[in-house]
Every structure is written in C-alpha cells, then in structure tokens.
Structure 1
C-alpha cells in the first residue's frame, strides 16, 4: 500500500480558497487541508499582534510589528495556495464554498481594523482631554501666585490651548478651548476684579498679546476684553500714585494717553493733574512749604513730559505745568522763611537768593533780599537769626566801617535794620599776625598815613550784628561783631585780616 493518499488533481479554485481562508489571520486555510501546526502558527502570530496592539494607543501599532504580521499573512496565503492546489479539502464540501467563506471571513480583519481605528481615535481624544486638563490645572495653580511668578505657567497653558486648536481642531478638547480661554482671561485678570489696579496693569497688558498665539476665531469677543480694563487700571493706579506723591504715575498716564487716547479714562488725566497742582499750590501756605515747592518743581517737569497730543490735552497740561512752575518760584519765599525760622540758615540763603533771582517783580522780593542777608549773618552769629528781618532802613546813629585789609570785603549787618555793602581792599595794608592782634596796644585802622576804604551808614538804637567776609578769598573765615548802639555816640567798625599758626 502507498504511504500517503495520492495527490488530488490540481485545482486553482481550491488554491484560491485556502489562500483566502489564511488571509483572515486565523489559519483556517490550513485547517481545511489538515495542517494543524501551521494553523497554530497563524493563531500565535495573530495573538502576538493583539497583545502588541491592545489596548489601543494614540500612536497605533508599532510599524515594525504591523509589517512583520502582514508579511506573515502574505506568506501564509501563498503557502496555503501552494498546499491547497493538490490537496483535497476537509470539513467543507467544495472549493467554491471554501472560497466564498474565505471572502466572507475577510470581514473579520477588516472589522478589526475599523474597530481598532475607532479605539485609537478614542484614545487620542482621551489624551487630548488630558492635555486640556493639565493646562486647566496649570492656570488654576498660576492664579494663586503673583503675576511675575505665574507668567511662565500662564504662557505654557496658553501654548497648550493653542496647540489643541491648531493641531487637533476637530477634537472634543479643541471644541472646549474657547470656554477655557474665558476662564483663562478671568484668572489672569483677577487683580482687576479685586480692584487692585496697580497689580492688574501687567497681567492685562499680557492679555493684549494673547491674539498673537490664539486665533481670533477661538477668542471671539475676548480679543478686546482687556482694553477697557487696562485703561481703567492705568488711570486708577496712576491717579492714586499722583495723589499720594509717589513715583511711577507719569509712566502710567503716558501709556494711557498713548495707547487709549480717546478713552474716557484718558479724558480724566488732565483734571487729575490739575487737582494735584491745586493741592500742591495750597500746601505752600501749610506747615511744610519747602516740600510743597519741591512737589511743584517735580510736577512742572513731570507734567511737561506727558504725551497729551493724541488725546487733545497737550495745551491744558502745558497750562498746568506753567502754573506749577510759577507757584514753585513764588513759593520759594515761604520756603525760605520756613528754613530761616527752623535755623537752617545756609538753606535759607540759597532759597532766598534763588527767589530774588527768579522773581524780579514779586512783592516779597525786597524782604527776601533782607532775609538772605540776615541768614548769612546768622550762619556766623546764630543770635542774629532769632527774628525775621524787617524792610526798615536808616537810623539816627552813624556807624563808619573801615577796611584795614588787603582783601575786598562784604559787610553784612542785621538787627533793627538789615543790609550789606562792599569795600575795596586797602592797597597799602597787610594781614596782621596772630601775635600782633593779641598785644595790649593793638589798634587796627589807626594809621593816619593810610587811606582806608570806608563807608558810613546810619542805624537805629539797638543791637546790630555785623559780619565781614573776604570777597578776594572766600575760604577765609568771616569776622563778626555784635554792636549795641546807644544814642549820642558815633561808632566805628574796623575790618582786618589775621594770619598765624599755619593759616
């Protein structure tokens, strides 16, 4: 007897049927030709593919695994066709029925592909929703910090929202982005909702840059959402700083006038500046006129730097600056008096001299000149600064001042009458040594052969304080004299220079 049945006649339909049954991935073609171990290989390959592919991942099946599996299917189909060409079928009555069944069973891998694609799409949707949730959590966390610390987190969240909209526009996550953006805006602008306007400026300025990252379709009416809020914050913060005398208000008012020149908030800038100038002008008559003058000087410079052209308030702001400047100049007198009364005589001299220079027609100019002289005397003789000088002049007592010094000198005096004058230096005079001035017979201005530069003034009865200062060498120490003038006498003051002990 033969060892095996004789081969069947060649049948292309049988070969096709076995190949089609193997393409299902279940090795059924091998089953109908009784090649059970080869069917097992097909089942094992399909099981390995399922283990690799499931659960569905957004990245899909690894390419190498898919290619290897398809190669195995192709080899199984080709080998099955070769075997089925001359092998009788078992389990099925005819090759035609087997071929039809093979075509029907091709729906199994096709349905698997469809189902897998659906599962993969769902996995992608879940991944995108996870990204959306992470961006939402980042916004919520950043909202608990100050903007400087939170800005980096806000930018990362915004980038995530933008990527979802741009890269996956048809996803469920992308459709939720517009609602998330509204929450995003409200979170970033939370300081404005709390009426913390100074803290709201930076985040609102940042929100105006969001359209560079997110399209206007997703933003909708959020595109212009920060504008009015930013204008309000700029005005409110600057107005509060201006009222408190703090720094920074010019930058914020300047930005408001430049960025939103036609806004209602920009229209409030000039009235706020005018009110600040009014307040500073009124303060000149208060307890600290020097601070008021300093404030007016600052307002003069700061207001002139505001860009009011686009908002149509440049002329009004210029008038406010001019008024601040005039008030600062005229307020110098009150400041000088305040300094004089406080004993700040050096400052009073500077302030009053500046006032005299800057206000040639002011009614207080004459008294300011007198006060400057008295303050200069008081720097050497503090007792001279106990009272403000009057504008009185003249008197019944003659006082002659002679200059026994080679230096040109300035003579200042204050008391019932205040004034000053200069005397030329004595050409033939020299400085006295310290030892000479200490001698019992020392008497300057007594050389009858010399012509001493001199001047006679008339003063009233009372105490007058004199100070002699060198005009030739201002580093020399001034001399002083306190003269108690009585009626019936003629007085002489003598100025001379002493040197010794190395000076």
Structure 2
C-alpha cells in the first residue's frame, strides 16, 4: 500500500486559495491542506501579536513586531501556495469556493487593523487629554503660590499647551486649549484681580511674553489682555511708592512711560509726581523739615531718572529743587533748636549761597554765625539769633596776634567781622602768661588792628577764629554788657602743644 495519497495535479487556483487563506493570519490555508505544524505557528504568531497589541494604547504596536508578523504572513502565503499547488483540499471540495472564502476572510485582518487604528487614535486622544488635565492641575496648584515661586510651573504648563496646540492640532485636547489659556491668564494674574497691584506687575509682564511662544490663533483677544492691566498696576504700584520714601516708584513709572506712553495711566504720572512734590514741600513747615528737604532733593533726582521728553516732569523736578533750597532755612532753624549747631551752620551757609534773593537770607546768615559761636560756647545757642543790629554800648576788639582773625559774636545782636594781623605782634608762650603784670593788648607803643561795634545791654558771646590755622583752638569770651561802660576785647595767641586764640 502507498504511504499517502498521490500528489494532485498542479492547480494554480488551489495554490492561490491556500495563499489567501494563510494571509488571514489564522493559518486556514494550512488547515485545508492538513499542515498542522505551520498552522500552529501561524496561530501562535497571531496570538502573540494580539497579546502585544491589546489593549490598544497611544504608542501602538512596536514596529519590529509588525514587520516580523508581516514577514511571517508573506512566508506563510508563499509556502501555502507551494503546498496547495500539489495538495488536494480537505474542504471545501471546490477550489473556486476556497478562493472566494480566502478573499472574504481577508476582511478579518483588514477590519481588525482598522479597528485597532481607531482604538489607538482614541488612546492617543485620552493620553493627550490626560496631559491637558495634568497641566491644568499644575496651573491650579501654582495659583496658590506667589509668582516668583510658581513661575517654573506656569512655564511648564504653557509648554504643554503649546505642544498640544502645535503638534496635535486636530485633537480634542488641542480644541480645548484656547479655553484653558483664558483660565491660565486669569490664574497667573490673580494678584491683579485682588488689587495687589505691586505683586501683579511681574506676572502681567510675563503674560505679555506668552504670544512669543504660543500661536496667536490660540490666544485671540488674550494677546493684548495684559496690557491695560499692566499699565494700571504699574501706575498704582508707582503711586503707592511715591507716597513713601522708597525709590521703587521710579522703575514702575519708567516702565509705564516707556512701554505705554500714550495710555491713560501714563497721563497720570506727571500729576501724581506734581502732587507728591507739593505735599513734600508743604511738609517743610511740619515737625521734621530736614527730612522733607532731603525728600525733595531725592524726589528731584528720582524724577531725573524717568524717561526724558516730558516737560511736565522737568518742571516738577525744578520746583522740587527750588523748594528744597528754600526749605533749607526751616531745616537749619530746626537743627539749631535741636542743638545740632555744626549741621545748622552748614545748612544755613548753604542756604545763603543757594538763595541770594530769599527773604530769610539775612537771618540765615545770622543763624549760621550763632551756630558757629555755639559750637565753642554752647550757652550761646539757647536763643535763635535775630536780624537786630546796633546798640548803645561800644565794644572795641583789638588783635594782638600775628594772624588775621575772624571775630564772631551773638546775643541780642549777631554779627562778624575780620581783623588784620598785627605785624609787630608775636604769639605768647605759656610762661609769658604767668609773668606778673602781663596783659595782652597792653603795649601802648603798638598800633593794634581794631574794630568797634555797638551792642545792646545783655550777654554777648564772642569767638575769635584764625583764618589760616585750622588746627588752632578758637578763643572765646562771654561778656555781660551794661550801659555806661566802655568794653574792650583783645584777641591774642598762646602757643604750647597747640595754638589758642
């Protein structure tokens, strides 16, 4: 007996039917020709592919797996055609029916591929929606923090929104990005809604940069949404700083004038600065005039730091300088009354220099003299010098020293004058002052430089200061003047470890 049925005559139609049935991925062609091992291999490969592919996810099937499966199917089709060429079919008996069945069953892998592609696309959509939701949560969490801390989180979320809008433009997630951007803007700028204008400045500046990285069609009206809010915040924050002593208002107003020069907020800058100058100038008459003067000078300097081209600002700066110069008188008086005679002298001397036509200039000069005297004789500073002059009591001051001296006096009358050096005079030693009968200005043969002034009764304080020796100790005298007497002051020099007038 033969070991098996004899080979069938070659039949191309049967070979094609077996090849088509093997392309279904189920190895049905091998089933019809009773080839069990290749059938098992085809089924195992299909099951393995389904195990890898299902459930469908956004990443899809690895390319290597698809390529390997496609090669296997082609090999199965070629091998099945070779086997089917000389092997009779178990079922169906007619070759045409098998061929039609193969063609029909090809719809199974084709339909499966279409279904899988749809499932994968849905998985991609879900993954993109998950990314969108994660970015939304990141924005919500960042909204609970200050902008300096939350800035990186906002930028990360913006990167996600941009990626969805640009690289996944047709997705459902991308369709939701414009709405999310409105939420994004309002969250970043929450400080503005809370009227915390200083805190709102930096977030709003950041939002103005968003159109540089985000497609404008995703933003719509949001493109210019921060502009008016930023201008409002810059002005409000700057105005708050202007009422204090800080200089943070300068960069606020400067940025406003540079960035939004034609805005309604920028138009308020000059009136705000003008009001601040007037308010500070008025404070010169208050309890701390020196602080007000310093504030005026600072204000003038700060105004100069603002963008140029604004005549109104230049006018305010000039007025602040003039107000500061005029306020020097009140400051000097306050310093004098507080006993800070050195500063009072400096302030009043500067006031006299800066204000040649001021009505208080003459008295300021008197106060400067009184402050200088009081630095040597503090009792002289108990009363503020007046502009009074003259008196009924003659007082002659002689210079018995080889140096030119300035004589300062204050009391009921305040003034100063200069005496030239005594050419034939010398400085006295300490031992000279111990000699019996020693008396300065007592040499009748010398022509001492002298000057006579008329003073009213009362206590007058004298200070003699050399004009050339800044290291010498000034001489001083307290004279109680009475009517009916003639008084003589003598200026002389003694030398020991130092010089004394």
Structures share fold, TM-score greater than 0.5 = yes
State how far apart, in whole Å, the 1-side matches of 2:212 and 2:171 are.
Answer: 22
2:43 aligns with 43
Q: How does 1:103-502 map to 2 (within 5 A)?
A: 103-307=103-307, 309=309, 314-501=310-497
Are 2:385 and 2:412, in contact at CA under 8 Å, matched by a contact in 1? yes
Are 2:472 and 2:498, in contact at CA under 8 Å, matched by a contact in 1? no
Q: Give 1:476 deviation, angstroms.
A: 1.5
Q: Give 1:329 deviation, angstroms.
A: 1.3
State how far apart, in whole Å, the 1-side matches of 2:9 and 2:408 are.
Answer: 145
Query: Which stretch has the larger CA shift, 332-341 or 244-253?
Result: 244-253
Are 1:392 and 1:418, in contact at CA under 8 Å, matched by a contact in 2? yes
State how far apart, in whole Å, the 1-side matches of 2:44 and 2:215 are.
Answer: 51
Cα offsets for 1:258-277 (capped at 9, x unmatched): 21122211222122112112
Cα offsets for 1:279-336 (capped at 9, x unmatched): 1121111111111211222222222433363xxxx22222222222222111111111
Q: Give 1:449 deviation, angstroms.
A: 3.7
2:93 aligns with 93
Q: Give 1:502 deviation, angstroms.
A: 6.4
Are 1:138 and 1:154, in contact at CA under 8 Å, matched by a contact in 2? yes
Q: Give 1:217 deviation, angstroms.
A: 0.5
Are 2:247 and 2:302, in contact at CA under 8 Å, matched by a contact in 1? no
State how far apart, in whole Å, the 2-side matches of 1:228 and 1:483 are.
Answer: 72
Are 1:397 and 1:459, in contact at CA under 8 Å, matched by a contact in 2? yes
Are 1:397 and 1:488, in contact at CA under 8 Å, matched by a contact in 2? yes
Q: How many residues align?
A: 499
Q: Give 1:437 deviation, angstroms.
A: 2.8
Q: Give 1:439 deviation, angstroms.
A: 4.6
State how far apart, in whole Å, the 2-side matches of 1:123 and 1:440 are.
Answer: 120
Say which SS state the counterpart of residue 77 (structure 1) adopts. helix
State how far apart, in whole Å, the 1-side matches of 2:423 and 2:106 are.
Answer: 132
Cα offsets for 1:380-399 (capped at 9, x unmatched): 10100111112111222222
Change (3 A) 1:421 1:382: same
Q: Give 1:337 deviation, angstroms.
A: 0.8
Aligned-pair Cα RMSD in Å: 1.5
Are 1:33 and 1:89, in contact at CA under 8 Å, matched by a contact in 2? yes
1:16 aligns with 16
State how far apart, in whole Å, the 2-side matches of 1:439 and 1:252 are.
Answer: 75
State how far apart, in whole Å, the 2-side matches of 1:331 and 1:307 are.
Answer: 27
State how far apart, in whole Å, the 1-side matches of 2:97 and 2:434 are.
Answer: 148
Change (3 A) 1:32 1:442: same
Are 1:416 and 1:464, in contact at CA under 8 Å, matched by a contact in 2? yes
Q: Give 1:425 deviation, angstroms.
A: 2.2
Could you tell me which runs of 5 or more consecutive residues in structure 2 were left unpaired when the two chains were aligned: none
State how far apart, in whole Å, the 2-side matches of 1:140 and 1:49 are.
Answer: 42
Are 1:257 and 1:308, in contact at CA under 8 Å, matched by a contact in 2? no
State how far apart, in whole Å, the 2-side matches of 1:339 and 1:91 are.
Answer: 122
Cα offsets for 1:40-59 (capped at 9, x unmatched): 11100111111111222222
Are 1:60 and 1:120, in contact at CA under 8 Å, matched by a contact in 2? yes
State how far apart, in whole Å, the 2-side matches of 1:434 and 1:194 are.
Answer: 79
Say which SS state the counterpart of residue 391 (structure 1) adopts. coil
State how far apart, in whole Å, the 2-side matches of 1:262 and 1:501 are.
Answer: 71
2:33 aligns with 33
Say which SS state the counterpart of residue 487 (structure 1) adopts. coil
State how far apart, in whole Å, the 2-side matches of 1:86 and 1:455 are.
Answer: 151
Q: Give 1:355 deviation, angstroms.
A: 0.9
State how far apart, in whole Å, the 1-side matches of 2:373 and 2:44 are.
Answer: 115
Tell me the TM-score normalised to structure 1 length: 0.96
Cα offsets for 1:64-103 (capped at 9, x unmatched): 1111111111111111111111111102111111111111
Change (3 A) 1:2 1:115: same
Q: How does 1:55-66 map to 2 (within 5 A)?
A: 55-66=55-66
Say which SS state the counterpart of residue 5 (structure 1) adopts. coil
Query: Which stretch has the larger CA shift, 185-194 or 416-425?
Result: 416-425
State how far apart, in whole Å, the 2-side matches of 1:442 and 1:186 are.
Answer: 93
Say which SS state the counterpart of residue 219 (structure 2) adopts. helix
Query: Which stretch has the larger CA shift, 492-501 or 90-99?
Result: 492-501
Query: Which stretch has the larger CA shift, 166-175 or 135-144?
Result: 135-144
Query: Which stretch has the larger CA shift, 224-233 or 299-308?
Result: 299-308
Q: Give 1:438 deviation, angstroms.
A: 4.4
State how far apart, in whole Å, the 1-side matches of 2:4 and 2:434 are.
Answer: 156
Cα offsets for 1:6-43 (capped at 9, x unmatched): 11111111111111111100000000001122211110
State how far apart, in whole Å, the 2-side matches of 1:428 and 1:471 are.
Answer: 18
